Amino acid sequence: MGEFSTYIIANPASGAFSTQFLDSVVRDLESFVPKVHMTQSTGDATLFARNCPDGSLIVCIGGDGTLNEVVNGMAGSDKTLVIAGGGTGSDLGRTLGFVPPGSIGSSLNNPRLSMIDLGMVRYSNGTRYFANVMEIGFGASVMMRVNSSRGGRINPFTLSVLKELPHLKSYHLHIDSDPEHRDLEAIEVVIANCRYFGGGMLASPLSDPADGSLDLHAVPAMSRLSLIRRFGKLRSGEYVKLDEVVNISSSEFRISGDAAPFEIDGECIGSTPVEISVAKGALRVLTPGSHEQGKAIT
């Protein structure tokens, strides 16, 4: 792999962060003399990753929100991301694979990578990338609660769903993609690059982060009771087979209509209208050797 700089970006505020986990990663990479950066505020991980030298290896310790910040600092560069885990949800790693402490260093002796696509979101405040999943509507409202929760015995995502149910509402949305146009009342729209969200829920069973397209799943307006009855199908991914769910695969979407909140990779950042497109092969990720999309780094 040649000469490269190694950096560890860790979020001490992440729900599952521990100094023991960080120390194990540092020990694993000792021969590469890693530089550790502890994030201190929102946007800090993006700025640090952006300023890392070309060709750097960046190990991320944190949840999907931290990963999203790191991805936004790396998109389109020749830097390589390592997903080490250490977050509460860590849903991106469920699709791409984790490279856990104790095996990162050995993975670099015979490294493998995946060049994956990113979703690019244009909205009123600018442009952001996402590697995993974007949600519009109910899921974004749930994520706001998740991000403000203090943890506990119940899964924070499940608890937040229950707390947000009394506020369930639908949005009249216009969804344009080439060649489709849909007008619908929806409580939730998922735009997926990878497969999981919400701490292991199978959001988009067939999504492939290297196929040049995004998968949209729109859940129509329904009662609270109907949503509760379908919750098992939402967790398992079976919901995409329901006749009333709209499923579209495309490289570009334009979504307008009612102002609906949206979140990307766990970060609530705005409301519709939005334009979403694919940035093909925009992120290089070090993956476990068994990953089916992996190939040798030269």
Token code pair at residue 233: 């199908």
Task: Answer yes or no: do 186 and 140 share one domain.
Answer: yes
Task: Answer yes or no: do 178 and 265 share one domain.
Answer: yes
Task: Answer yes or no: do 136 and 276 share one domain.
Answer: yes
User: Is 286 a domain residue?
Assistant: yes
Which CATH number fits the domain that encloses residue 188? Answer: 2.60.200.40
Task: Answer yes or no: do 153 and 266 share one domain.
Answer: yes
Task: Answer yes or no: do 173 and 260 share one domain.
Answer: yes
Candidate from 16-25, 70-79, 87-96, 149-158 with smallest mean pLDDT: 149-158
Q: What is the pLDDT of residue 285?
A: 94
Q: What is the pLDDT of residue 298?
A: 30
User: Is 23 a domain residue?
Assistant: yes
- Count the domains in the chain: 2
User: Is 1 a domain residue?
Assistant: no
Task: Answer yes or no: do 286 and 271 share one domain.
Answer: no
Residue 274: exposure state from Cβ atoms within 10 A (0-12, 13-18, ≥19): buried
Task: Answer yes or no: do 107 and 132 share one domain.
Answer: no
Q: How confident is the model at residue 291 (pLDDT cuts 50, 70, 90)?
A: very low
Q: What is the pLDDT of residue 154?
A: 59
Task: Answer yes or no: do 15 and 153 share one domain.
Answer: no
Boundaries of domain holding 230:
122-280
Q: Which has more confidence, 149 or 256?
A: 256
What's the whole-model pTM score?
A: 0.89
Which CATH number fits the domain that encloses residue 103? Answer: 3.40.50.10330
Task: Answer yes or no: do 129 and 86 share one domain.
Answer: no
